[in-house]
Amino acid sequence: MDKTILIAEDDKDIVALLKLFLENEGFAVVATEDGEEAIEALENNEIDIAVVDLMMPKMNGYEFIKKMRQSYNIPVIILSAQNQDSDKIIGLEIGADDYMTKPFNPLEIIARVKSHLRRYYQLNDPKESGEETIQWGELRLNTSTFEVFSKKEKILLTPMEFKLLKVFMENPQRIYTKAQLYEMVTGDIGDNEERAITVHISNLREKIGSEYIETVRGLGYKLEKK
């Protein structure tokens, strides 16, 4: 990964724990004990992401994030004691990206650190992240955000249109009968609601362009290579 993580935490046990796990994952770790130190560390190192305890001497996490945000835009993960009054934890509104309560599972911290780094640096690894996008021609369908793009432009689909397109894009060139499509999309076994499918296909074509969905007369529809 080759990234540097700033830890701001006054509990030395926790720092040791985090350091152990994070370095084991190949991250470089810069550890600081309060907000002032952390700001310094930010200025003197190439920090990629910060893990910050809210309760620290001198400058607490809240103030640190506020100050930090004036110059930096890296992801911040907040650590907080479990029973800390939650109304004091306005970190999320302030510009933190994630939030964990102590005690925490170190493996989970690592997962989240990676997740935020991926998101922030666009190093998306579709295998690991939940983000899965399917591509076909100019079409791009994101199963995580339920968004569909055609040539950079976002296309607004109804749930049924989305599901239909997803079915097609998962098996391009495969022919589906209207009955199959109806069942895959609604879960019900359609008697003669196949008629509805033709309408959805029509509307879908209207939105994504007519060059994708090909009708196979007497059989059904398929997504065809353009």
Partner DNA sequence: CCCGATTATCAAGAAATCTTGACATAATCT
Partner DNA sequence: AGATTATGTCAAGATTTCTTGATAATCGGG
Contact string (CB under 7 A) for DNA, positions 167-196, x = contact? -----------x-------x-----xx-xx
130 binds DNA (CB under 7 A): no
Contacts 24+ apart (CB under 8 A), 31-38: 31/7, 32/6, 32/7, 32/8, 33/8, 33/9, 33/57, 34/8, 34/10, 34/58, 34/59, 35/8, 35/59, 35/60, 35/61, 35/63, 35/64, 35/67, 37/8, 38/6, 38/8, 38/64, 38/68
Q: Is the CB of 118 or the CB of 163 nearer to DNA?
A: 163
Amino acid (one-letter) located at 137: G
Q: Which C-beta is closer to DNA: that of 1 or that of 179?
A: 179
Find residue 102's DSSP bridge partners. Answer: 81
| Cα–Cα nearest to 200, from 226, 174, 175, 221 | 221
Give whichever of 26 and 187 is closer to DNA, judged by the CB atom. Answer: 187
| Sign of CA pseudo-dihedral 72, 73, 75, 76 | positive
**Residues 6+ positions from 126 with CB-CB distance below 8 Å:** 132, 133
Residue choice 16, 20, 90, 219 for contact with DNA (CB under 7 A): 219
Smallest distance, DNA to C-beta of residue 62, A: 15
Residues engaged in binding a second copy (CB under 8 A): 86-87, 89-90, 92-93, 98-101, 108, 112, 115, 127, 130, 132, 134, 143-147, 159, 163, 166, 170-171, 173-175, 177, 180, 184, 187, 216-220
In the complex, what is the shortest distance from the CB of residue 184 to a second copy, in angstroms, rounded to a whole number? Answer: 8
Q: Judged by CB under 7 A, which of 155, 201, 208, 223 binds DNA?
A: 201
Residue 114 or 178 having the CB closest to DNA: 178
DSSP of 75-126: -EEEEEETTS-GGG--HHHHT-SEEEEES--HHHHHHHHHHHHHHHHT---T
User: Closest distance between DNA and the C-beta of residue 198, in Å?
Assistant: 4
What residues numbered 59-98 form the site for DNA, per CB under 7 A? Answer: 85-87
In the complex, the smallest distance separating the C-beta of residue 95 from a second copy, rounded to whole angstroms, is 12
With CB cut-offs between 5 and 8 Å by kind, which of DNA, a second copy, none does residue 132 bind? a second copy
Helix/strand/coil for 48: coil
Could you list the residues that contact DNA (CB under 7 A)?
85-87, 156, 158-161, 178, 186, 192-193, 195-196, 198-202, 205-206, 210, 215, 217-220
